[in-house]
Structure 1
Amino acid sequence: MEQYDVFLINPPSSRMKEKYEHLGLAYIAAFLRKYDINTKIIDIPLYDLYPNDVIYEIKSDKPKLIGVSIPFQDSASEALEFVKSIREAGYKGHISIGGIYPTFSYDEILSVCPQIDTVVVGEGEITFLELARKVLSDEDWKNISGIAYRDDGTLRLNDKRPLIDDLDSMPYPERDTLPIVILKSGFASMLTSRGCYGRCSFCSVGPFFSQFGQKYRQRSVENVIDEIRILYEKYNVRNLFFNDAEFIGGKGKNYERVYKLAEEIIKRGMDINFSIQCRVNDVDKELFSILKKAGLKRVFLGVESGSQTVLDRFKKDVKVEDNIKALKILNDLDLYISMGFIMFDPHINFKELSENISFINNAVKLIGKERLDYYPVSRLLPLAGTEVERDMKEKGLYKGNSLNYNYEFDDKTIGFIYNLSHSVYNLVGNLKSRFKGSSDINTKWIKR
């Protein structure tokens, strides 16, 4: 049986129901294997693995380095408990974690989970590669840029590592898990860019990238098309989920880039369906018409609110009319729409809440329930590193820590309404799922 020097692990997550590829680990694996480092990707949520079975494999294989990703803040507690279990089972090697959340909360994580040796701060590919080469060679790793660690009880944060300027220079992600992903979800994932040009107060993507370099970078059309071709021909992929936080990138040259990408897909006769994510001010009838011709079937649209005062508070830099216009264009093109929407936030008043409810009702009337997906009782999340988190802490609204947070609403009555509606909605949803089964419109775009 092949022995591996490095395990890259997507840890347990009871909240992770969707079966996606973990592109972060796939990119890191590509960098490691480029330098002949034997690497194994273990995706616990994807394979529905028992954590103890993975720990048994760790004890058997004895990798010198384990990298654990924490892709979502609300699953971080489970991930850290998993790390503690690895240590309790007797593992003596190096454990490193990374992700957007650990980048902002490395000090808190290292405090509550001393079983971790290092936290990768920022993009992980080059930093983790350097760490792996040092650890595997039994060399001192404490001067590596882009890591945080505790040294004799003292927190150390090394120099920041700049972002990779040229995304085309990166090897394509490894596709170890793609066969099972296609079986379970029906689609492969891709990234054509990193970051976002927006400045939304509740989003951690912009603050994550901007502290290390450009907040938004893109791959060339040629580089993207080449990876699509490999997926299409080698893996027989016919459904793609473009996992970019911001697929379009705004008007001008970014608009032209996406238009050219659609043209290339059409010209090469690739019969694919795909899904994207974008802001409402990116939605243009001409551009999205050719995207649909190229195979666009579903759009995750960052609408967020139907109240102008809330949009301004969120720093969305759009008008309610822009939200409506975008929905109408996508509806006219007969596309499936997953609408990002934040019904409640700590400062919302009854007028704003009423505007949100009215907006949702009008959106359902316009599009219909068959092609519109949204979560009607969502609330603003104070994610680590965001302006929202900082604002809540300054005003004394933030309760707990980043692993288990809550907050108070300015209006206690609205807080009561949120708690009640959230509980009732989840109860009804669970009952429907149990007795009638669930029907997710987000899978209807997939080519069978």
Structure 2
Amino acid sequence: MKVLLTTLNSKYVHSNLALKYLYAAGKEACGSLELREFTINNSRDYIFTELVTADCDAVCFSCYIWNIEKILELAADLKKARPRVSILLGGPEVSYDAEQLLREHSFVDFILTGEGEVSFPQWCEAFEKGISYERAAGLVYRDEDTISVNQGSPQPVDFTAVSFPYENFPYETDRVIYYESSRGCPFNCSYCISSLDKRVRSLPTERVKRELDCFLDKGIRQVKFLDRTFNWEKERTLDIFRHLIARDNGSTNFHFEICADLLDDEMLAVLRGARKGLFQFEIGIQSTNPETLRAVRRSGDVGKVLENVSRLVELGNSHIHVDLIAGLPYEDYRTFRHSFNDVYALGADNLQLGFLKLLKGTAIRRDGEKYGYTYMSKAPYQIISNQFISAQEICRLKQIETVLDLYYNRGGFELTLASAARELADTPFDFYEKLAEHYYSQGFQHRSHKKEDLYRILLQFFEALGRSSRFLPMLEMDLERTMNFDAVKKFKRKGWTIL
């Protein structure tokens, strides 16, 4: 039997780690097991043709919020083209309502819930030999005219027994390499599916270091850890940081998601010794409103979080990405403004203004009625409104997100923004709110813009406020230090008028 593992990644530079784990686990149980990745940006006809001509007996899709709708469409068409092909779905987007999904989509034959390193080879063996599927824990499947649900949910796998996922594949130096050194999360945030697996399972530190050495030896551009809270255990974290600093090849970057509460003097002292660009940290602050944080079960001292992030930023040798989530309980437009200003003041390299997604399986989705949530019916299930913030206010925040990404996160406007956000409004939030109002009132949202046109748009905004003479010199300095010499010359020939 020929089985294909596949998915649609959000971008080409991304790759799917889960499929690599499944390939390693199932290759001995399948007569022929292949892995093929696409992206959501590939044309539907291209992916469809590739799947049909692959001539597989089963196609197994890894499903997430960014690809589930496209996968269901492809799977339905694939079943029409090849009626005898078996369709198996797995992943977080199908693990929490598998039985309902099978009832709604007759073209799906199997759904594998939870972690698959044990149950996937059990399914492979049954599929290959034509025997009962009862052994495959967490499998939901069609059995003639009925839907069968195997008894008991799949237990968390012994992560130490899982093979290094890259031993079967060439290293793709043009893609981000995803890596896990632990699974599970010690925290209970109500909006996160990682909170459902409360037992942290870590690989032995020496094994982690050996596997990271493989990436360093191959000169991988970026290794992104999928650990939900990498620094949950101090000594282990310090050991790995010290190893990476000592083995630094001068080019590889390592990305970690960390909890700011757990940073301390010793950890910051170790990080101070890292090469600039060796580490990148993502820190989910989400809100600075204590009532909101209690409601979503996030522990910690807000003041300590902000202080620790500020100290990490001050080191100046790591890219720092901080997150806010709009739409959490007890966070109205006014209090979100306060959270934004608190976090903006940290001076992080990137401030992601995200919007709550009511993911399947999460506590906040189950408590949706309690807080009056309305949310989009299809993935990614993003908030529309709740009893604290209106749909119109959410849309206004989306407009602010747009200009924040274009100007602050994209970079190249540092000198101008530092002064403008201080001089043109009471707070940084108010400045970006004004900039968003101008950007959208002029219709700039209707088309994409080259970087040089963003300078022109910003000058037009200053002109509307009667402050162009104050900020034009700063814009020119930002322009000249950001763009190459030829681009600056071309810009000056065209002038500052936005066409």
TM normalised by structure 1 equals 0.82
Residue 220 (str. 1) matches residue 204 (str. 2): yes
Structure 1 residues 262 and 379, CA gap change in structure 2 (3 angstroms): closer
Q: CA deviation at 1:86?
A: 1.3
Map of 1:247 onto structure 2? 230
1:312-355 CA distance string (max 9 Å, x none): 12211012112212211211221211112113335423552232
Whether the 8 Å contact between 2:374 and 2:385 is mirrored in structure 1 is: yes
CA distance in 1, matches of 2:244, 2:340: 39
Structure 1 residues 276 and 432, CA gap change in structure 2 (3 angstroms): farther
Moved more, 116-125 or 33-42: 33-42
Highest RCO, 1 vs 2 (Cα 8 Å, sep ≥ 6): 1
Structure 1 residues 292 and 280, CA gap change in structure 2 (3 angstroms): same
Whether the 8 Å contact between 2:329 and 2:371 is mirrored in structure 1 is: no
Residue 203 (str. 1) matches residue 192 (str. 2): yes
CA distance in 1, matches of 2:261, 2:143: 47
The CA RMSD measured in Å over matched residues stands at 2.9
In structure 2, give the amino acid aligned to 1:284.
Answer: D
Structure 1 residues 345 and 274, CA gap change in structure 2 (3 angstroms): same
Q: CA deviation at 1:201?
A: 1.0
Match of 1:24 among 13, 18, 26: 18
Whether the 8 Å contact between 1:259 and 1:291 is mirrored in structure 2 is: no
Match of 2:237 among 239, 244, 258: 258
* Larger CA Rg, structure 1 vs 2: 2
Whether the 8 Å contact between 2:205 and 2:240 is mirrored in structure 1 is: yes
Secondary structure of the residue aligned to 1:136 is: helix
Residue 41 (str. 1) matches residue 25 (str. 2): no
Secondary structure of the residue aligned to 2:236 is: helix
Q: Which runs of 5+ in 2 are unaligned?
A: 407-444, 455-499
1:16-49 CA distance string (max 9 Å, x none): 2462221101111111235575322211118x54
Identity value in percent: 18
Residue 326 (str. 1) matches residue 308 (str. 2): yes
Match of 1:162 among 152, 155, 158: 155
Whether the 8 Å contact between 1:102 and 1:121 is mirrored in structure 2 is: yes
Q: Which runs of 5+ in 1 are unaligned?
A: 440-448
Map of 1:313 onto structure 2? 295
1:72-112 CA distance string (max 9 Å, x none): 32432122112112112224122111112211121332233
Map of 2:468 onto structure 1? none
Residue 421 (str. 1) matches residue 410 (str. 2): no
Match of 2:261 among 281, 292, 301: 281
Report how many residues are paired. Answer: 409
Structure 1 residues 425 and 36, CA gap change in structure 2 (3 angstroms): closer
Whether the 8 Å contact between 1:280 and 1:301 is mirrored in structure 2 is: yes
Moved more, 343-352 or 281-290: 343-352
Q: CA deviation at 1:432?
A: 8.4
Whether the 8 Å contact between 2:327 and 2:385 is mirrored in structure 1 is: no
Residue 10 (str. 1) matches residue 7 (str. 2): yes
Whether the 8 Å contact between 2:216 and 2:248 is mirrored in structure 1 is: no
CA distance in 1, matches of 2:283, 2:452: 26
Match of 1:436 among 446, 451, 454: 451
CA distance in 2, matches of 1:435, 1:288: 38
Secondary structure of the residue aligned to 1:39 is: strand
CA distance in 1, matches of 2:325, 2:375: 20
In structure 1, give the amino acid aligned to 2:301.
Answer: K
In structure 1, give the amino acid aligned to 2:211.
Answer: E
Moved more, 220-229 or 26-35: 26-35
Structural mapping, 1:398-409, within 5 Å: 398=374, 401=377, 403=379, 405=381, 406-409=383-386
